[in-house]
Structure 1
Amino acid sequence: MAETNNAYTEDSIRSLDWREHIRLRPGMYIGKLGDGSSQDDGIYILVKEIIDNSIDEYVMGNGKTIEIKISEHKVQVRDYGRGIPLGKVIDCVSKINTGGKYDSKAFQKSVGLNGVGTKATNALASYFRVQSVREGQMKVAEFERGELVQDHPVTETNQRNGTLITFVPDDTIFKNYRFIPEYLENQMWNYVYLNAGLTVNFNGQKFYSENGLKDLLSRKGDPESLRYPIIHLKGQDIEIALTHGDEYGEEYYSFVNGQYTTQGGTHLAAFREAIARTVKEFFKKDYEASDVRASIIGAISLRVQEPVFESQTKTKLGSILMGPDSPTVRGYINDFVKEHLDNYLHKNPAVADAMKRRIEQSERERKDMAGIKKLANQRAKKANLHNRKLRDCRIHFTDEQNEKHLLSTLFITEGDSASGSITKSRNVESEAVFSLRGKPLNCYGLKKKVVYENEEFNLLQHALNIEEGLEDLRYNRVVIATDADVDGMHIRLLLLTFFLQFFPDLVKNGHLFILETPLFRVRNKKETIYCYNEEEKQAAMKKLGKNPEITRFKGLGEISPDEFGKFIGDNIRLEPVILHADTSIPKTLSYYMGKNTPERQQFIIQNLKVEKDIVADVEEEIYA
């Protein structure tokens, strides 16, 4: 038998140390890397892993304040807990399977158990510093990319007990990353909602909550659209809050041991089932579960002894018991909701009546569009067999066993040339393209029936698979990719109206983005620079020197497929569509998409610039 060059021998086997393994396969530990444009990107997981340790200290009764500072690239987290035992400081941040959480008496219901989180942050940081203070003594150690570079001796100090972690995410792994303040603020609010009495000082702002999940729903829901006061129920290891609003879809926030389970899991499924079952039994009517849950806003927080998550990032809870010799999560939640929600509705007949009216309104709306829905779905089924509008990819958001499922993306674009460029340059594994044939319908003020009556909207809904909610959403990122001209902006606005009006939970859960593409190409014979705004163009012209060639891209179709690949690959620039907590969707849509309102006319008049003003601004920038 002939000898082969790729012989499989003992020399082929090599072991990676913990640091190398995390850096080689970061997705196993922190999900997708990303650049910070998504709330589940790796840089936010790094922050969370450090704060989680401080939260666990607070839950154990140690330290009521956590101080957090996050600048453009540096993160600092200071708690006033017990501090890491000084002799174990280095081990705790650099040895896998080292930590206090193996002793279940010390940490009964913590999030992290395997001691990976802090080590992952250390390995994926270009600089990492840990400082622990215990009883007048302080120990400091410094690392670079997980390697110990400075082991400081123990010194005397008058600082308060606790731990201070400082780190800088490694920009060779997290390329072009930036922290988005709204995402960080949401993280901080979630921590205080789940830990009533805790104070988080974040970048000079104080975060504090007295009423837990009730405060969360008060902040998230538009007060004017709530049909009845928030129902807030608490048990020993469970807390729930719920109400109904006026928006389409269902909106939930679910947590396990203080961890925001963005992808839900058994606890959320049980919560949804228990609400529908309890409400039907209370009213003694066989309502459709979808009518009970339509327009609901709910939150659930659970504390269990040994949570089993479906990934290291802990965004989805698996099937588990509440604790040794305890009922399943499903049974526990169902029993709690059945008893306490039923009692609440009996004691508050006005709330029960308002809930009933909302459910029956949903029932009427569903029956009203049953006929058109059936016909539209038949048409969509035929179209899906040969859907020219959708050029699909291989990996979808629902393929949870595939570590790349978080990268699944749908680009919504307009026109054959733009669609062609993206289709030819996309990554067929994880990027799909949906082509619009022109400007979509302005659906402001229309009923949801239009989603089925309008073929394009119906096919888009089916491509995303969001007809029944977000549980089976096929793409993690839904990206509006239109030209950066007036027509492109108008199409963008019409699509935003469609999603905000009929699928607001898609936006609120951080799945909708705007694709940023370069406006200019500046080049000479040696170098090409793509610029996304006038400032970048001026800097590129300065860098390249005399008479560079400048191209102004008027539309996506003008960018060749070869070039386009550079803007939707590793260096993709996405602007997330973020709804601020105090944003009222009906008011926002009315302002931008309603008939010419006096407020909008006044805004245009006050902010309109004539051509000479714009020229003066540009000249000022050039000669400044």
Structure 2
Amino acid sequence: MSNEIVLGVNNYSADNIQVLEGLEAVRKRPAMYIGDTGFKGVHHLIWEVVDNSIDEAMAGYCDTIHVTIEKNNSITVRDNGRGIPTGHHAKENKSALEVVLTVLHAGGKFDKDTYKVSGGLHGVGVSCVNALSIHLRAEVHREGKIFEQEYSEGKPLYPVRIIGETERTGTTIHFLPDSTIFTVTEYKYDTVATRLRELSFLNKGIRLTLEDKREEDEAGKFRYEEFFSEVGLKEFVRYLDATRQPLIPEPVYMESDKGTVPVEVSMMYNTSYSENVYSYVNNISTIEGGTHVSGFRAALTRTLKGYADKSGILAKEKIEISGDDFREGLTAVISIKVAEPQFEGQTKTKLGNSEVTGAVSQVVSEMLETYLDEHPKEARTIIDKVILAAKARIAAKKAREMVQRKNVLTGTGLPGKLADCSETDPKVCEIYLVEGDSAGGTAKQGRNRAFQAILPLRGKILNVEKAQEYRIYENEEIKNMFTAMGVQIGKDGDERALNIEKLRYHKIIIMTDADIDGSHIRTLILTFFFRYMKILIDEGYIYIAQPPLYLVKKGREERYCWTEAQREQAVKEVAGGGKEESVNVQRYKGLGEMNAEQLWQTTMNPEKRSLKQVTIESAAEADHLFSMLMGDEVAPRREFIEKNAKYARVDV
């Protein structure tokens, strides 16, 4: 497909670099350009640089991209593409390399003769990375020479110079984010690895590597991973479904680049009850969907229903099928390439190009129809799953109606165990989901009754990963969460959508014990939110409380500690040069071990507490993680634990 994407083959030169506007205000208002100056923003710098290399790869000129996290948390990205042009740029009267790195929205991707599509069009380019870095060095291997230029805060330290000769081609960008701009300057290995893995699936045949020089193993080697996919989306779907029981032996794969919109789709059915459709435009994750997803869903429903009608299966069952039924247990990845994508939605992650709907719909209809005709056994298995889904949907609808009817019949419908707050403005109200009646009682005594509500949850809630939907609404603890929060099921014609217009709290805080059971309960609750109340995570309403692990005490002096390092430091300081054995260290294994005042001061007081907000960096990766942690397959869970044990914090 890469040969179809590029239009200009050998004419990538200084003249192809078009300047749209200057670089003013990036340092003054960085959030306007990269989203924020925290965790996401600092990682976005890597994506901008890697996007340039991916563009070269999509154009057919690059097949290897190396990313290195250096010891000082600087980043090096090296590729074997053509190298950024270094010739004289007539309009700007300087090297094209300097133009690309110092002028916002300057680059070959704005010249349609250089790149037909570009993964970086949603961003602001490497010049923005340069502006927000205390130091950046560009090294270009091109035309037999090695070119170099360094910058500080976006300003060149010297003109582009030649520092040697070379037989290879490519670009190396090394940058150190400016700590006066970013509130977070430490890179998270797993976040970078997740994105590179995703890019390897979306761009088959491209090798991406990640090396972390901040940490060595026992053999003195740095942490290192290589991401490479020979078959692309089929392998992506297998990866996402690795922890689920498949219904069909192989993923269905569809690809077409005949029209103006290259389309690639892979899908797989499994025995789970959730739908997981992930969509991308020019490698950009479109988490809000858009016209490409609409085209896929319409074609899927139309084609499967047509096959079922033709086979006479539905007539025998006498059951009404809806679009949702065709997508239960479906995992699919849609990847398209669009020359000029138009994004909509609050987060600019919803595709709006109208021409895409028909293009995707046609490809999926034609190829899925062929697949069903050629694989009658698999087709029958899928239709049987659809019929089961329809029956379960009807049962789930009745169960949901029972939950909501109970709210109406009992007035407020609030659970008896809920200790509500007196405030009614959801923006200032918060609810603690607390493990067990004992801890719930302590929390009720220690809270601020004005704005803090407490809902004790008895034992472990239902594992929604293994349960049909109607079972979920029959679970007492889950029903209590629905009614306490005031959310409704059904919105805008979608009977499964969550309506949060009457949400009663804008902080929903999970507070469990700091032990294995507490971690399990927290994961069960998070799985439920991810599968059935994901909008609450997307809106930033879900938090995790951080109760202390230790109380370090000597005489009247007390220190609460949340980490092992804090405990060690506190013991030394409280000992005051004396014997550390004289210091009493209490390990809190449960919330019930603290009295109400201690719980308030350490975990519930807004002025002193520490809350972790739950966010989703990658929906596809989160789906894979939850299905692996809470699903039936033991082997992938064991492998995950063994692989990540050395990087995890273990509480004993």
**Normalising by structure 1, what TM-score?**
0.73
CA offsets 1:321-350 (integer angstroms, 9 cap, x no match): 5xxxxxx11122222222221222112111
1:22 maps to 2:26: yes
Partner of residue 401, structure 1:
none
- Secondary structure (helix, strand or coil) at the match of 1:104 reads coil
Distance change in 2, residues 1:419/1:340 (3 Å): farther
1:179 and 1:360, CA in 2 relative to 1: closer, same or farther beyond 3 A?
Answer: farther
- The offset of 1:75, in angstroms, is 1.8
Q: Residues 169-189 of structure 1, C-alpha deviation per residue, up to 9 Å, x if partnerless?
A: 344444355444333222122
- Of 336, 341, 352, which aligns to 1:307? 341
**Cα deviations across residues 111-162 of structure 1 (Å, max 9, x unaligned)?**
2337713233233334332222221333333334434456563333326221
CA distance in 2, matches of 1:419, 1:140: 64
Residue 196 in structure 1 maps to residue 226 in structure 2? no
CA contact (8 A) 1:278 1:338 kept: yes
In structure 2, give the amino acid aligned to 1:225.
Q
1: CA distance, partners of 2:398 / 2:368:
35
Distance 1:591 1:216 in 2: 16
Matched residue SS, 2:148: strand
Distance 1:510 1:151, change over 3 A: farther
Aligned identity (percent) is 27
Query: Which position in structure 2 is the counterpart of 1:375?
Result: 402
Partner AA of 2:338 in structure 1: V
Give 3-state SS (helix, strand or coil) of 1:437's partner. strand
CA deviations over 1:17-40 (Å, ceiling 9, x no partner): 9767334444333334544xxxxx
- 2:470 match: 449
Matched, 1:331 2:352: no
Contact residue 442 and residue 494 of structure 1 kept, 8 A: yes
Q: What's 1:81 paired with?
A: 81
**Which amino acid in the other structure matches residue 564 of structure 2?**
E
| Equivalent position of 1:205 in the other structure | 225
Give the corresponding residue for 2:388: 361
CA contact (8 A) 2:544 2:613 kept: no
Q: Is the 8 A contact 1:440 1:495 kept in 2?
A: no
Quote the residue 2:238 is aligned against. Answer: 218
Alpha-carbon distance, 1:247 to partner: 1.8
| 1:495 and 2:525 correspond | yes
Q: 1:436 aligns with which of 447, 452, 455?
A: 455
Q: Indicate if the aligned counterparts of 2:267 and 2:333 stay in contact, CA closer than 8 A.
A: yes
* CA drift at 1:248: 2.3
Does structure 2 retain, via aligned residues, the 8 Å contact 1:436–1:456? no
Q: What is the aligned partner in structure 2 of residue 234 from structure 1?
A: 255
Do residues 480 (structure 1) and 510 (structure 2) align? Answer: yes
What's the secondary structure of 1:287's corresponding residue?
coil
2:139 counterpart letter in structure 1: Q
Does the 8 Å CA contact 2:243/2:633 hold for their aligned counterparts?
no
Residue range with higher mean Cα deviation, 347-356 or 478-487 = 478-487
Structure 1 segment 45-444 matched on structure 2, within 5 A: 45-71=44-70, 73-86=73-86, 87-113=95-121, 116-149=124-157, 153-158=161-166, 160-176=168-184, 178-203=186-211, 204-222=224-242, 225-228=245-248, 229-236=250-257, 237-284=262-309, 285=314, 287-310=321-344, 316-321=349-354, 328-380=355-407, 412-414=433-435, 415=440, 418=443, 435-444=454-463
Which amino acid in 1 is paired with 2:45? L
Pick closer, same or farther for the CA change 1:31–1:410 going to 2, 3 Å: farther
> Aligned to 1:217, what secondary structure does the other structure show?
helix
Per-residue deviation at 1:296? 0.8
CA 1:369–1:155 in 2, change beyond 3 Å: closer, same or farther? Answer: closer
Q: Structure 2: where are the runs of 5+ without partners?
A: 1-20, 87-94, 212-223, 315-319, 578-582, 643-649
- Of the structure 1 ranges 375-384 and 213-222, higher mean CA displacement relative to structure 2 is found in 375-384
Instruction: Report the equivalent of 1:6.
Output: none
CA-CA distance at 1:384 after TM superposition = 10
Q: Is it true that 1:586 corresponds to 2:613 in the alignment?
A: no
> CA contact under 8 A between 1:220 and 1:581: conserved in structure 2?
no
1:377 deviates by: 2.5
Indicate conservation of the 8 Å contact 1:515/1:575, yes or no: no
* Distance in 2 separating the partners of 1:126 and 1:48: 18
Tell me, in whole angstroms, the C-alpha distance in 1 between the residues paired with 2:569 and 2:406.
52
SS in 2 for 1:143: strand
**1:5 paired residue number:** none
Contact 2:65 2:80 in 1 (8 A): yes
Q: Whole-Å Cα distance in 1 between the matches of residues 271 and 537 of structure 2?
A: 15
Further displaced range: 68-77 or 207-216: 68-77
Deviations 1:345-377 (A, max 9, x none): 112111111101111111122233433321112
Partner of 1:31: 35
1:48 & 1:409 partners in 2: Cα distance? 35
With over 3 angstroms needed to count, the CA separation of the structure-2 counterparts of 1:195 and 1:297, relative to structure 1, is same
CA contact (8 A) 2:278 2:332 kept: yes
One-letter identity of the residue aligned with 2:81: G
- Contact kept in structure 2, 1:515 and 1:574, CA below 8 Å: no
Q: CA deviation at 1:520?
A: 4.5
The residue matched to 1:355 in structure 2 has which SS? helix
**Count of matched residue positions in the alignment of Structure 1 and Structure 2:** 548
Change (3 A) 1:219 1:470: farther
- CA distance 1:168–1:549, change in 2 (3 Å): farther
Paired AA for residue 300 in structure 1: I
CA offsets 1:401-442 (integer angstroms, 9 cap, x no match): xxxxxxx9996445366479787999xxxxxx8743232554
Q: Does 1:43 align with 2:42?
A: yes
SS of residue matched to 1:225 = coil
Q: Deviations over 1:89-118 (max 9, x none)?
A: 222122113111221111111123377132
